[in-house]
Structure 1
């Protein structure tokens, strides 16, 4: 795997509100936060660009709603913002894709000549997956840092229920099988950058 010197790490929605288990339910991948922090550290140390994405929910009861404590980034992310030697972007969104945020992610990446992005964050099968899919559709080479994401158990139509691990695996299969992204582990990315 070759990671370009200007490949951007897109850190999606790593916010305090996702710690509210009573709202979200059981999650998977307890190592995700450690892996996300590790990727940010390596990206910043290498001078590569990092994009910090915050979801500003418009749902009245959401822990991610603006003005609620859960809207803030998790402490380990907030501590790392502004610490790298490379370019950094902070954007907000109220939908699933970081490409529909403010400021315009696609315009920022193109202006910087970025052609590769690495997606990490929360939730695996929601905003992280949607950002990766759209990145692939827009022509970026996308790496999806699978173990630097997590999600929650969910119930769909007809009371179909899937556990977080099953949902995460479905995302990996869809992104990989659909050609949207290369699904990789964070250790592979760290090794490629170092």
Structure 2
């Protein structure tokens, strides 16, 4: 967990703060497979962050998930990145088969350590799965994780009791846990954009 004083301070961004675009892939458009989602403006907020990072020359990392089943199987149309991510020439591209971007190829942690980067701005899909897992691990590894909740989305999910929890409630629970337990600074895209221009 981060230092409390630093956690509660206004957001500032390092000149080498890394924008991490997690699993911005075509397969997440398959509503028949995933069900209802929250935050229809997520892709627009992600695009705004990409524009800000490109304007300031900060590094961008794309992450791509390869599933064994479902819409994200490597080699299928769903595996492809969405246009806003596919158009990029990232500083690093990580492929993974599990929830955390830190367990992918190439090694994200090693790359960050080589650069001396300490800040990660986490965006993408899904809020309470790969984004949350990656952010928790970033906090455990000592990174300053920043979590703009409106630059990501998730889907409704059904629990072991058979009750379906709406995507927005799942996203709120993730934001609450990451904030309360000091895994990340939970903010809005606008807050990040202001800090990027400062």
TM-score after normalising by structure 2: 0.93
* Equivalent in the alignment of 1:76: 84
Q: SS at the partner of 1:120?
A: strand
Q: For 2:34 and 2:25, locate their aligned partners in 1 and report how far apart those are by CA, in whole Å.
A: 13
Consecutive aligned runs of 4 or more in structure 1 exceeding 6 Å deviation: none
Counterpart pick for 1:169 among 169, 172, 177: 172
Q: SS at the partner of 1:158?
A: coil
Q: CA offset at residue 159 of structure 1?
A: 0.8
Q: SS at the partner of 2:12?
A: coil
Q: CA offset at residue 67 of structure 1?
A: 1.2
Counterpart pick for 1:63 among 48, 64, 71: 71
Q: For 2:114 and 2:187, locate their aligned partners in 1 and report how far apart those are by CA, in whole Å.
A: 27
1:33 has 2:43 as partner: yes
Counterpart pick for 2:135 among 132, 135, 139: 132
1:148 has 2:151 as partner: yes
Q: Deviations over 1:88-138 (max 9, x none)?
A: 100100000000000000000010010111000000000011111100000
Q: For 1:158 and 1:35, locate their aligned partners in 2 and report how far apart those are by CA, in whole Å.
A: 34
Q: CA offset at residue 160 of structure 1?
A: 2.6
1:108 has 2:111 as partner: yes
Q: Over aligned residues, Cα RMSD in angstroms?
A: 0.8
1:89 has 2:99 as partner: no
1:120 has 2:123 as partner: yes
Number of residues paired by the alignment?
187
Q: For 2:156 and 2:138, locate their aligned partners in 1 and report how far apart those are by CA, in whole Å.
A: 25
Note the residue ranges of structure 1 that are not aligned, 5 or more in a row.
Answer: none
* Equivalent in the alignment of 2:182: 179
TM-score after normalising by structure 1: 0.95
* Equivalent in the alignment of 2:61: 51
Q: CA offset at residue 58 of structure 1?
A: 1.8
Q: For 1:104 and 1:58, locate their aligned partners in 2 and report how far apart those are by CA, in whole Å.
A: 21
Q: For 2:58 and 2:116, locate their aligned partners in 1 and report how far apart those are by CA, in whole Å.
A: 12
Q: For 1:145 and 1:65, locate their aligned partners in 2 and report how far apart those are by CA, in whole Å.
A: 27
* Equivalent in the alignment of 1:22: 32
